[in-house]
Amino acid sequence: MPKGEYPSDDSKIGTSRRALLRGLTAIPVTASAIASPWAKTLAPLHQRHEDEPATLVRTKDGRSMSRFRYHNAERWMTALEVGFLADPRHAREALHQAGFVTQQALCAYLLDVGFSDAWNARHIKQDIAKALSYAIACGFGHDCPDMARLAAVLSPYWKWGYHYHQWEEDRPRTGGFIPATITPLVRALVDRVHDVTGHPRPRGCQPRPQEARS
């Protein structure tokens, strides 16, 4: 098995997640069926959001799309980490950028565990909070209350692409987030996707300090 194609044995998510994913590679599993490893956690989400049940099946094409989305997230993440977004006055721009990066990263994870790209496009769209809840229901294991709060502020992230003068009284609220607080939260989420999917960093992307030491 080529290096980086699947999560390594030291992946933080653990052996049980890898065993579940291998099972989903073998046969399609309807998320609402008893056979699905995440049926109990997905069913309430389907009902709450009135989504059609997802069919989880891992494929080479899905894995390839997952890697593409993760690489997209990493490349656009650099815009959050450069100096011009460090200014608190750029909070709206940072939130819009963070929304795109987070959506790409979370969809990369959902694709990796077997959600289809068509299902994501139809039901996730630009709802970051929803994407995060589905990812967590499927073993993402990223317990970060501040990221959950940011996801709610970001959703749907298209709203941050408008200039404030285009809004009347009901302007979107930043929740107190500024670039300096947005960036580390999104970086931690993107790193988590890297860790649990096992996707290699895109070419030219600098390894994180902990990876450089390993």
Tens-digit pLDDT profile for residues 145-198: 999 999 999 999 888 876 554 555 566 788 889 888 999 999 999 999 999 999
Question: What's the whole-model pTM score?
Answer: 0.79
Question: Cα separation of 109 and 58, whole Å?
Answer: 12
Report the Cα 172 to chain-centroid distance in Å: 22
Question: Cα separation of 38 and 56, whole Å?
Answer: 10
Lowest mean pLDDT among 65-74, 78-87, 158-167, 175-184: 158-167
